[in-house]
Amino acid sequence: MSQTTAVHGEKISLLRVLGPGHIWALGVGIVLVGEYMGWNFAVGKGGALAALIACWFAGLLYTCVAMIDSEVTSTVAAAGGQYAQAKHIVGPVMAFNVGLYLVFAYTMLEAANAITLGYLVQTVGTMAGFEDVHDKPFIVLTIVFLAWLNYRGVYATLTFNLVLTAIAFVAVIILFAAVKPWSHELLKHGDLLTGLPYGMLGVLASLHFGLWYYLGIEGTCQAAEEVRSPARSLPMGTMTGIITLLLAATMTWYICAGLMPWEYLGQAVTPLFDAARLTESQPLMVLLFIGTCFSTMASANGCINDASRAWFSMGRDRYLPTWFGAVHPTNRTPFRSIMFLVPVAVVFAYFAPLDQVITFSILSGLLGYTYMSFNVIMFRTKWPLDSIKRGYVHPFHPIPAIVLLLLCSLTYFAVFLGYGTQLVAMMVFFAVASLWFHFHRYKFVRRGDQFTMDWPRPQGY
């Protein structure tokens, strides 16, 4: 197999080796863990039906995200994804903020995954009869091993993700078939769906964790400089990814809501594994336990990939020290960015509570989605369809952007209901970071160098 990359004398670049399958694995791999655990806290907030509404609501939100992202990223195909888009379309302060959203969202999610994997190993140890078992060694091992894999090369890293993600997705399909959705032998939706226990306020509150079904699908565009055909592969990988997740989310809800009462499901740690246990099938239990572990590992792996690319891109543009913008000459990976983020993830995974880590990840993602809604409107206004060629043109513009903005606003309110302090703290942090960037850091940026697209002058300028 031969791979291609750009080698220009004494210059070096990331390695262009990925195909659409890797992009699918990157997007779905980051997210699929949300089907194995996390989404069900939406059930706890408002009941099983509220979680279904949240599933559809978040599905609509992320379909808008995927469509918008596919169009913009098929044109701004650069590592850093939404950060590079914001730099070219909105401006430097927005780009700096978006870069931070990305790094926070993915590093926090990586930490959450490592905590979960450590917990799973600890649970197995306890169930096997061992006393005084600890999760910390396995939390650290997860982060360091996956960072090492990322350090060694992107092709092996995302091929590994493809295998893990495919197995985890197939496990959900097998479980769906095993519970016989065509019969009432195992599934008892008629008895278990008891309406909305907390009314419409419960529905609103459940929107917060509804995001967990899809959070991270937009990470596909971080691979833009490592994919062989960005204009084709990125939209294809992203759109097939969101379709996969919509199917997986619906199957997951249907299985779990038909097997467990909402009072239990709303606080279960591993709902899909619990569903397998209720079938009393040993092979299914093993399969879903493997699926849980694999989806968690795939998510952490993809998060390391994406966070390091965003950090690397900001370093390359001097938004951060240029030291971070280095590429490894042999492995062709952003090795310093990968290394730098290892202790950051370890500290959060070691010391921060899981729900706080997850909330910071969701909030960072939500801020990013809000930016995407007006980013695409500015993109279409400054560069109309006939001015630059797009690999994909999303339909019904500007309706997806407006819908996305409305859904994000509702979700902010939902987050505020449960985690108002964290929301305010995060907004203050980003405001202070913006001031630091504007008054201190931006003077180091070479303003002409950061705009690399050979686009015509924007309309109105």
Partner 1 sequence: MSAFKILEYVAWGISLVLGLWMFIDMVKTNRAYSEEFLTSSKEGEIRDALVIDPPHQGGHL
Stretch in the footprint of partner 1 (CB under 8 A) among 102-110, 130-138, 302-310, 378-386: 130-138
Token representation of residue 397 = 């513009």
Token representation of residue 189 = 């939706």
Please work out, in degrees rounded to the nearest 5, the angle formed at the alpha carbon of residue 366 by the alpha carbons of 365 and 372. 90
The minimum distance between CB 96 and partner 1, in angstroms, equals 16
Nearest to 151 by CA among 363, 358, 326, 16: 326
Among 21, 34, 92, 153, binds partner 1 (CB under 8 A): 153
Token representation of residue 257 = 């809501």
Q: How many residues bind partner 1 (CB under 8 A)?
A: 63
Please, which of residues 397-456 interact with partner 1 by CB under 8 A?
450, 452-454
The minimum distance between CB 458 and partner 1, in angstroms, equals 17
**Structure letter (DSSP) for residue 352:** S
**Structure letter (DSSP) for residue 16:** B
Among 49, 58, 61, 84, binds partner 1 (CB under 8 A): 84
Rounded CA-CA distance 104/390 in Å is 29
Among 141, 163, 174, 403, binds partner 1 (CB under 8 A): 141
Please, which of residues 312-341 interact with partner 1 by CB under 8 A?
313, 316-317, 322-323, 325-332, 335-336, 338-339
The minimum distance between CB 115 and partner 1, in angstroms, equals 15
Token representation of residue 194 = 């008891």
The minimum distance between CB 226 and partner 1, in angstroms, equals 9
Characterize 77-90 residue by residue with b for buried, 16 or more Cβ atoms within 10 angstroms of its Cβ, and e for exposed.
bbbbbbbbbbbbbb
Q: What are residue 451's phi and psi, to 5 degrees?
A: -100, 105
Rounded CA-CA distance 19/273 in Å is 32
Please, which of residues 7-36 interact with partner 1 by CB under 8 A?
7-8, 10-17
The site map against partner 1 for 61-80 (x = CB under 8 A) is ----------------xxxx
Please, which of residues 209-248 interact with partner 1 by CB under 8 A?
225, 230
Cβ atoms within 10 Å of 383's Cβ, excluding its own? 20
The minimum distance between CB 101 and partner 1, in angstroms, equals 19
Exposed/middle/buried for residue 455 (C-beta within 10 Å: 0-12, 13-18, 19+): middle
Please, which of residues 340-379 interact with partner 1 by CB under 8 A?
342
Nearest to 334 by CA among 304, 301, 364, 312: 312
Q: Closer CB to partner 1, residue 5 or residue 434?
A: 5
For the CA atoms of 27, 30, 34, 38, the dihedral, rounded to the nearest 10 degrees, stands at: -140
Nearest to 331 by CA among 142, 154, 178: 154
Q: Closer CB to partner 1, residue 264 or residue 455?
A: 455
The minimum distance between CB 15 and partner 1, in angstroms, equals 6
Nearest to 76 by CA among 329, 403, 454: 454
The minimum distance between CB 121 and partner 1, in angstroms, equals 8
Chain residues in the site for partner 1 (CB under 8 A): 1-8, 10-17, 77-80, 84, 125, 128, 130-134, 137-138, 140-141, 144-145, 147-148, 151, 153, 155, 225, 230, 313, 316-317, 322-323, 325-332, 335-336, 338-339, 342, 450, 452-454
